[in-house]
């Protein structure tokens, strides 16, 4: 029974990675007529509206029993992750973003030492180092990997994702997955809308094309509401370190979606990296169960 439950939540994270893997290249397509800040503002504004419509009573009761310290760190980290990710997608390839943001697999165990007081097991280190190698091969794509401003934003995304996972795991000891997901969505929406109003050009809204609006709706429903819930539900039963490792499937799925949607092609080197990542995920899952 425990193994079945464990596997179910592993599938949750793999589904989340699939949604994100498709969402990254779609976001780049939307940027043809919408700016990153307005994309975030509409996406998270819509996502929080959905949470408020369907779970208003539940959220009100849960929030009355929580202090800001129990949800604010996870919410701020998630807001930072999504804002920096969108800025990264504007400045570099979707494939590179998928690689760099997945470096959260390295940062999550380190943050867990501080936040959760969880000892670091050296047995995980070889697998994590191999994941870095696999992700580098996946996205260097035959030696073409370069580090620019977009890649720097993606690195901030990796740190922020790790923080969201670790603080989210801590927050879920006091509340449920829906509540923490709604809180993270609300905080990201507020920051995104403020950023769009302060630094964005409001006149660009009238120039947004129908395909960009379709992407925003997809991102709000699947990559925000559903993906947040899948991640936070899994964090109830899986460690943040294992979740970050499982999320390393995202660059593989991003690379696949980018090939069909953006014509970003992988060489044999990139394919080799994908195989290494999958092998590491299987090994980490076995190690975690033991």
Q: What average pLDDT does the segment 12-37 reach? A: 89
- The model carries a pTM of 0.79
- At residue 1, the pLDDT reads 45
- Looking at residues 154-159, what average pLDDT do you find? 89
Counting the structural domains of the chain, the total is: 1
Q: What pLDDT, on the 0 to 100 scale, is given for residue 15? A: 93
Question: The domain containing residue 284 runs over which residues?
Answer: 2-289
Asked whether residue 160 carries a pLDDT value surpassing 70, the answer given is: yes
Residue 173 confidence (pLDDT) above 80: yes
- The string of pLDDT tens digits covering residues 136-154 is 777 666 666 556 788 889 8
Q: Which residue has the higher pLDDT, 145 or 191?
A: 191
Q: For residues 182 and 189, what is the distance between their CA atoms, to the nearest angstrom?
A: 10
pLDDT attached to residue 34 = 93
More confident residue, 96 or 8: 8
Q: Which two tokens stand for residue 147?
A: 């580090």
Of 226 and 147, which is predicted with more confidence?
226
CA distances, 243 to each of 2, 155, 256 (Å): 17, 18, 21
């Amino acid at each position: 029974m425990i193994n079945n439950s464990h596997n179910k939540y592993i599938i949750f994270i793999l589904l989340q990675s699939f949604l994100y893997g498709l969402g990254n290249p779609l976001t780049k397509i939307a940027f043809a007529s919408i700016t990153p800040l307005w994309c975030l503002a509409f996406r998270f504004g819509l996502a929080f509206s959905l949470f408020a419509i369907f779970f208003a009573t539940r959220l009100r009761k849960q929030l009355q029993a929580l202090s800001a310290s129990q949800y604010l760190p996870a919410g701020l980290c998630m807001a930072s992750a999504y804002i920096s990710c969108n800025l990264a997608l504007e400045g570099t390839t979707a494939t590179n973003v998928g690689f760099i943001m997945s470096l959260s697999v390295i940062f999550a165990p380190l943050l867990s030492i501080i936040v959760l007081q969880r000892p670091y097991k050296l047995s995980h280190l070889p697998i994590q180092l191999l994941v870095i190698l696999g992700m580098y091969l996946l996205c260097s794509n035959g030696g073409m990997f370069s580090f620019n401003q977009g890649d720097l934003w993606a690195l901030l995304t990796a740190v922020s994702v790790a923080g969201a996972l670790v603080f989210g795991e801590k927050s879920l000891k006091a509340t449920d997955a829906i509540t923490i997901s709604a809180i993270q969505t609300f905080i990201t929406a507020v920051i995104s809308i403020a950023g769009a109003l302060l630094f964005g050009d409001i006149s660009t809204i009238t120039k947004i094309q129908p395909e960009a609006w379709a992407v925003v709706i997809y991102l709000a429903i699947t990559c925000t509401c559903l993906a947040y819930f899948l991640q936070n539900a899994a964090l109830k039963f899986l460690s943040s370190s294992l979740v970050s490792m499982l999320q390393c499937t995202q660059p593989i799925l991003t690379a696949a979606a980018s090939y069909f949607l953006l014509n970003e092609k992988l060489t044999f080197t990139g394919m080799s990296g994908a195989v290494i990542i999958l092998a590491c995920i299987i090994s980490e899952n076995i190690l975690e169960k033991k």
